Structure 1
Amino acid sequence: MIYDVSQILRDGMPGYPGDPPVKIREIFTVAKEGFSLRQMELTTHTGTHADFPRHFYSGGVSQSETDLSIFFGKVQVAESFEDTLHPGILRFFAKNGHLSLARAQELHAEGVRLIGTVFDSIDLDYPYPVHEFLLGNDIIILENLVLSGMAPGEYHLAAFPLNIEGADGAPVRAVLMDDLCGGG
């Protein structure tokens, strides 16, 4: 089975508080021009998206400099960030709760390279110490995942970001597959 764990982008959907809303409008229609074409305005942190080190560090790695292999492979989906990390897991998602700085440090020490949350921020609030720690250690963050229908366990992840040169973040289409868990 393949499970889409991405938010649907919609016109007017809110972004992170203070960010502009998404604008999607049809500029050509099949009825008038013979084809349909939509124009989109959104931030690089809209919907389900990846945060890259450049989001918090001007000299940090950007989307176009990130190794794509981190976005494909075995992932553990847990009820909470406090759940035990399975051996050998490099990608860890939580269905509930925010990640504490102490737990972020533990996950880093255990070799995790990608961390995902259902919230629009992995941090509970400003000044974003978890973002600073994770991104400062080149750990990629996926935010706004839709994991409510997923059972805890191991899956295979494919969540490639849009290829935006120098981007601090990028929307992703994240899917989980439960029949490829034998792969890395």
Structure 2
Amino acid sequence: MAPFTKFYDLSQPVYDHCPGWPTYEPTVVKYEASYDKDRFNAEQIRLNSHTGTHLDAPFHFFPDGQTVDQLDVSLFQGTAVIVDLRSVIHPKEGITVAHLAPYADRIGKDSIVLFATGWGPKRSFDQEYQYDWPYLTGEAAQWLRDKGIKGVGIDAMSMGGWYEGTGRPCHEALLSAGIWILEEIRIPDELTERGECYLMTFPLKLQGFSGAPARAVAAV
């Protein structure tokens, strides 16, 4: 393998009252020690584990599924195919098998698939980002599962949609097969146009958790 020459941070920042899932309590950050008073800084953060760039484990939808700390760390890195949907996907639209078909020859066993929908730069509290993002349909998730992929990511709030009937199907199809889901990444246009990268996305080792914040990094 040739040495990597460039790295891209695909992670969305976490900060006090940052955007998050609409029904969760907001993220709160405060100083427990400050340099002016204590001669050092230390912060406390309260957040839902599915806030910002994070990885879903099977336990998220299956009570008997593996928790994030039980997943083998070798799963969290590998060659990723970037599916460019920026010019074809619309708000509240499902990603279908037809969207994936042009990439069929590049997606195979142990692939990682990243969906570039263009929603990453929209991160905010507005309607489009908080509720109307594109999502992966159950049929397309099953198609990816049949390909034998090990992980899938999206630059939107969730892999599933907000509206009734759009959220569970893809999560259940993927997580029941042990395929992790990476949500709320941000993929630079320059990287999307390359079409492929080596992805590293290691979640915090939170014991018994259904998901955890992750630092997602792409190398080329």
TM-score, length of structure 1 as denominator length:
0.91
Rounded to whole Å, the distance in 2 between the matches of 1:155 and 1:132 is 27
For 2:198, the equivalent position in structure 1 comes to 156
For 1:181, the equivalent position in structure 2 comes to none
For 1:71, the equivalent position in structure 2 comes to 76
For 1:90, the equivalent position in structure 2 comes to 111
Where do 5+ consecutive residues of structure 1 fail to align?
A: 179-184
Relative to its length, the structure with more helix (as a share) is 2
CA contact (8 A) 1:14 1:20 kept: no
For 1:130, the equivalent position in structure 2 comes to 170
The residue type equivalent to 1:130 in the other structure is: C
CA contact (8 A) 1:29 1:36 kept: yes
Rounded to whole Å, the distance in 1 between the matches of 2:141 and 2:202 is 23
Shift of 1:148: 4.0
CA contact (8 A) 1:74 1:155 kept: yes
Does residue 57 of the first structure (1) align with residue 97 of the second (2)? no
For 2:26, the equivalent position in structure 1 comes to 21
Does residue 109 of the first structure (1) align with residue 146 of the second (2)? yes
CA RMSD of aligned residues (A): 1.4
Q: Indicate the percent of aligned positions where both proteins have the same amino acid.
A: 32
CA contact (8 A) 2:160 2:171 kept: yes
Where do 5+ consecutive residues of structure 2 fail to align?
A: 1-5, 86-94, 118-133
Q: How many residues align?
A: 178
Secondary structure at 1:11 match in 2:
coil
Shift of 1:87: 4.5
For 2:217, the equivalent position in structure 1 comes to 175
Rounded to whole Å, the distance in 2 between the matches of 1:106 and 1:28 is 50
Shift of 1:95: 0.6
Secondary structure at 1:6 match in 2:
coil
Rounded to whole Å, the distance in 1 between the matches of 2:182 and 2:159 is 8
